[in-house]
Structure 1
Amino acid sequence: MNGLKEFFHILQHSFRNLLPIVVVAFFQAVVLRAVPDGLSSMVVGLLVVVLGVALFLQGLELGIFPIGKNLSNSFARRGSLPLLMAFGFCLGFSAVIAEPALIAVASQAEMISEGRVDAFTLRVLVALSVGAVVALGVVRTILGHSLHWYMIVGYLLVVLVTFFAPEEIVGLAYDSGGVTTNIVTVPLIAALGIGLAVSIRGRNALAHGFGLVALAVMVPMISVQLYGIVVYSFGDAPDPAVMASAAAATGHAGAEQVGLLGTALHMLVDLLTMFRDVAPIILVILFFQYAVIRKPIAHLHKVIGGFVMVIVGLYAFVIGLKLGLFPVGRSMAEQLVTLDTFLWVYLFAFSIGFATTMAEPALIAIGQKAEEAGKGRLNANHIRILVAIGVAIGITIGVHRIITGDSIHYYIMGGYALVILLTWLAPKYIVPLAFDLGGVTTSEVTVPLVTALGIGLATHIEGRSVLIDGFGLIAFASIFPIVTVMLYALYAERFKPTGETS
């Protein structure tokens, strides 16, 4: 009975993630005054997304999070640095390889690049990057290093690589970094960092517990751009004739499989693919539980049920994307571009950014943890509003870049130059939190919707390339919350009277 109540509570959180759809409905009814094509299919897709996310989260709570927390505590008590690093690497890798938002972005990138960017290779590369950086972050927490030096050096390297990277990969690389810290990754990585900081004498939860999420966002930006340099400098471009032939063959095969049996087989294949995606995190947890800790899993039946729910929820999420969220984003972009002025596009971008962020459960959770760790210096509601404003500004600037056709290089390098400057000037206690907040602002609904919006705008504005201009909105959504939070901390530190809390 308690499990059913928890599931309904999670289902309510999943419905809250649909707040941006209220913005879409408003623009559709008041501005466009038209009913989009395929409305019923979109609605069904949105409901499937909600159900999928709820099942996925419930499965994590039952099967994966309890074991992960127990393992983190056990390793922290042992105090073995190699063991903690190995666990951090495996945890980061396995969480990201199963990240729904990354799956969505990678599949879109492969389709738009006509196979030049391989979706599975992209996901493995990002997962390896996150695994390596979580291991590095564990060392930072144990040694008590200040995060701001890591971020300044890291983002100087990011900007340097961006200068040399081909324009086809830059937006995708920054989007890949922005979506690595989401529904699976944030709770697991944040719990590891805060747990370590609390268990080690002389460490501060705010200064040393936060920051793993920030590092997990930064490093994939570098590795994916390096991958793009290799692919676009040395790789062979896809043959249009071969691509057309493959597409025709796929269409022919699909026509032959129409019917109940064909649909069932297709669904089974998709479900097995989801199992392949989630298998790494399951294997990592089982290996460390039985081979390293050497203790049986408590409540094994609940854990098995949780694993099943994770796989089914992930499957439903991906199906819902195809039916609902991607068509909604593309449809809105197509309709708004036809209006007499781009003002409505800017207003829609700002509204979507603000609404999705205010409804983001991960942001609510991180804000509450920050308020507790800050001991009066931080207010959770202020943090949410600041981050929501930052995301709204970021997506609006990203949309402006698509409309004008400007190079993403200058926007990204300028944005992170500002971030590096603020990292140098801001109070040190706020730096880890600010960077973490930049990584948790993109929910399971936001990422597909914003990605589809960018691709839709690039498709329907004359002279724009879908691959070059369509990606990058998520990157802007990750940069500007860091800016707004650090600016607020600078204001609070320098202009508020002594003793006043924020």
Structure 2
Amino acid sequence: MKEQLRDFLHALLHAMRNLLPIIVVVVAFQALLLREWPEGGLDMAVGLLIVAVGVALFLQGLELSIFPVGKRLSNQFARRGSLPILMAFGFAMGFSAVVAEPALIAVAAQAEQISEGRIDSLILRLIVAGSVGLVMALGVLRVILGHPIHWYMITGYVLVVLVTFFAPEEIVGLAYDSGGVTTNIVTVPLIAALGIGLASSIRGRNPLIDGFGLVALAVMVPMISVQLYGTLVYADGGNMPANADLISTGNDTQPTSGPLQAILDLLGMLRDVLPIILVVLFFQYAVLRRHLADPIKVGIGFALVIVGLYAFVIGLKLGLFPIGQRMAEQLIAFDSWLWVYLFAFAIGFATTMAEPALIAVGHQAEEAAAGKIQGSVIRLLVALGVAVGITIGVHRIISGDSIHHYIIAGYLLVILLTALAPRYIVALAFDLGGVTTSEVTVPLVTALGIGLASQIDGRNVLIDGFGLIAFASIFPIVTVMTYAILMERVVRPRGETS
């Protein structure tokens, strides 16, 4: 019991450390620039605390249930050496993990509300989850066959650009954001562990070159599938509302209006997590025909996952969504757009530098790269990429430019850099683009984009409000690959000749 309590406190500190950069940036802008306490500030503060507690409970539940059970299943299937079973397990785990992804649930709910139900949140989540499931199965096959990741990425992003060219503008930003939020609090550990574990267990495979890349594929494929879904949804060319009245600030919904409502919300969370539970039980009992090692501990873990997910969603409504939208309203009131750009850059850079997953990946990459790149340099490059990406995305909203042009240009640049970059950095760079946005950053950035689009005349919230997460995923790939190319072709040759 003491060990579980210590782990929970550690997870709570982890969540609060993720929130700290956001709090510092918001307080700095409120105190130095706006010089006022935000309206509803107490509710927002309580919401942030609830988010931290929810994330801590969620992580603790994962550590007790999904992670250890999934790891044991992966090891047992790898020892069997059955490719169909490994691919089926990869699909099932990818699908079930993304269906329960908190950030995807939040973004899908916002999209359904803004589109007045035209985009169905459940269908959107099923499409994204199915895409990630296919990616996991494909990724397992790629690692086993030893195919180079860069050919998958170049082919995939050429297809992404082509689909984006023909997709309706109402869906493009949402599609790219849906791809960006799939790799987050649940999916990254599962996906990364499966890829690196397979590469480490197969003779002739390099964990750095072959183990990374699954996260990048999990970001890319949903972009294609969601745009195809949007093409069908908007095939009749219907107009979407552009006003701000459709946007929920989070204060008009009382998530705890009574015990009955709380029970219904918890049942909703159970529905979200149920696919993971069913997948684990099916493969454990029907395929392996073995009992769970500690069913009581696993059951407690799943319960903590459900309660934590419920608290996380409640905290979003009270804290992070209102902060992003309120800051957008206040900064727009100034005569200069400079403060909006500075806030976007500061939020992107500060939150990314404090992202624990990025710190861990940077450390592992430093060891695997054998001195070719440093973990601290990776963090700086990725944080700079996220900050620049969010700032460019904010500029697109302010200027009213088409997201098609920005996205297509961004990924054409990525494709070019992929062809030029040294092979050791390609998979890592794409994975870094997928792990930069944390479970607390995504809702805030989404709310910031929606808040800006709802406050600027002539902007359509569905078209212009989404897309910031996509920019935050593209530009870290650009900065990391550019650095590797410069080090490989400019800096090192000079050092060798001297």
TM-score by shorter chain over 0.5:
yes
Matched, 1:326 2:321: yes
| Corresponding residue for residue 36 of structure 1 | 38
Counterpart of 2:74 (choices 55, 72, 75) is 72
CA distance in 1, matches of 2:494, 2:280: 46
Which amino acid in 1 is paired with 2:375?
Answer: A
Q: Secondary structure at the match of 1:201?
A: coil
| Corresponding residue for residue 203 of structure 1 | 205
Which amino acid in 2 is paired with 1:95?
Answer: A
Write the mapping of 1:95-494 to structure 2, written as runs, cut at 5 A.
Answer: 95-234=97-236, 263-494=258-489
Write the mapping of 1:12-51 to structure 2, written as runs, cut at 5 A.
Answer: 12-18=13-19, 19-51=21-53
| Corresponding residue for residue 496 of structure 1 | 491
1:235 Cα deviation after fit = 8.3
| Conserved 8 A contact 1:85-1:135 | yes
Which amino acid in 2 is paired with 1:120?
Answer: L
| Conserved 8 A contact 2:94-2:191 | yes
1:496 Cα deviation after fit = 3.2
CA distance in 2, matches of 1:444, 1:117: 23
Matched, 1:6 2:7: yes
1:378 Cα deviation after fit = 2.5
| Conserved 8 A contact 2:255-2:262 | no
The alpha-carbon distance between structure 1 residues 235 and 295, as it changes in their structure 2 partners (threshold 3 A), is: farther
Which amino acid in 1 is paired with 2:442?
Answer: V
CA distance in 2, matches of 1:319, 1:239: 27
1:17 Cα deviation after fit = 1.0
The alpha-carbon distance between structure 1 residues 209 and 259, as it changes in their structure 2 partners (threshold 3 A), is: closer
Q: Bigger CA drift: 424-433 or 366-375?
A: 366-375
Which amino acid in 2 is paired with 1:367?
Answer: G
The alpha-carbon distance between structure 1 residues 389 and 288, as it changes in their structure 2 partners (threshold 3 A), is: same
| Conserved 8 A contact 1:115-1:238 | no
Unaligned runs of 5+ in 2: none
Calculate the TM-score normalised by the size of structure 1: 0.94
Q: Secondary structure at the match of 2:334?
A: coil
| Conserved 8 A contact 1:358-1:384 | yes
The alpha-carbon distance between structure 1 residues 500 and 294, as it changes in their structure 2 partners (threshold 3 A), is: farther
Which amino acid in 2 is paired with 1:4?
Answer: L
| Conserved 8 A contact 1:116-1:238 | no
CA distance in 1, matches of 2:295, 2:358: 31
CA distance in 1, matches of 2:354, 2:469: 17
Which amino acid in 2 is paired with 1:432?
Answer: A
| Corresponding residue for residue 54 of structure 2 | 52
Which amino acid in 2 is paired with 1:477?
Answer: A
| Corresponding residue for residue 63 of structure 1 | 65
Which amino acid in 2 is paired with 1:83?
Answer: I
Q: Secondary structure at the match of 2:492?
A: coil
CA distance in 1, matches of 2:193, 2:360: 11
RMSD, aligned CA: 2.1
Deviations 1:263-295 (A, max 9, x none): 111111110000000000111111111111222
1:379 Cα deviation after fit = 1.6
Q: Secondary structure at the match of 2:65?
A: helix
Deviations 1:353-406 (A, max 9, x none): 001111112212222221222222232111111100000000000000001000
Which amino acid in 1 is paired with 2:33?
Answer: V
Deviations 1:63-119 (A, max 9, x none): 110011111111111111100100000010000000000001000000011111010
Deviations 1:153-203 (A, max 9, x none): 100000000001110100000000000000000000100000000000000
The alpha-carbon distance between structure 1 residues 131 and 403, as it changes in their structure 2 partners (threshold 3 A), is: same
Q: Secondary structure at the match of 1:17?
A: helix
Which amino acid in 1 is paired with 2:56?
Answer: A
Q: Bigger CA drift: 313-322 or 229-238?
A: 229-238
Query: Once the two structures are aligned, what percentage of the paired residues are identical?
Result: 71
1:237 Cα deviation after fit = 7.0
CA distance in 2, matches of 1:500, 1:77: 46
CA distance in 1, matches of 2:204, 2:104: 36
Deviations 1:269-327 (A, max 9, x none): 11000000000011111111111122221122211111110000000000000011100
CA distance in 2, matches of 1:497, 1:160: 37
The alpha-carbon distance between structure 1 residues 46 and 139, as it changes in their structure 2 partners (threshold 3 A), is: same
| Conserved 8 A contact 2:197-2:211 | yes
Counterpart of 2:88 (choices 83, 86, 89) is 86
| Conserved 8 A contact 2:198-2:211 | yes
1:234 Cα deviation after fit = 4.1
Unaligned runs of 5+ in 1: none
CA distance in 2, matches of 1:351, 1:268: 39
Calculate the TM-score normalised by the size of structure 2: 0.95
Which amino acid in 1 is paired with 2:190?
Answer: L
Which amino acid in 2 is paired with 1:332?
Answer: M
Which amino acid in 2 is paired with 1:365?
Answer: A
Q: Bigger CA drift: 2-11 or 451-460?
A: 2-11
| Conserved 8 A contact 1:58-1:306 | yes
CA distance in 1, matches of 2:382, 2:255: 48
| Conserved 8 A contact 2:349-2:387 | yes
1:500 Cα deviation after fit = 8.2
Which amino acid in 2 is paired with 1:220?
Answer: P
The alpha-carbon distance between structure 1 residues 360 and 304, as it changes in their structure 2 partners (threshold 3 A), is: same
CA distance in 2, matches of 1:282, 1:362: 25
* 4+ residue segments displaced more than 6 Å: 235-240, 498-501
| Conserved 8 A contact 2:143-2:211 | yes
CA distance in 2, matches of 1:444, 1:64: 18
Which amino acid in 2 is paired with 1:448?
Answer: P
Deviations 1:221-260 (A, max 9, x none): 00000000000014877999xx99xx9xxx9xx9xxx999
Q: Bigger CA drift: 476-485 or 66-75?
A: 66-75
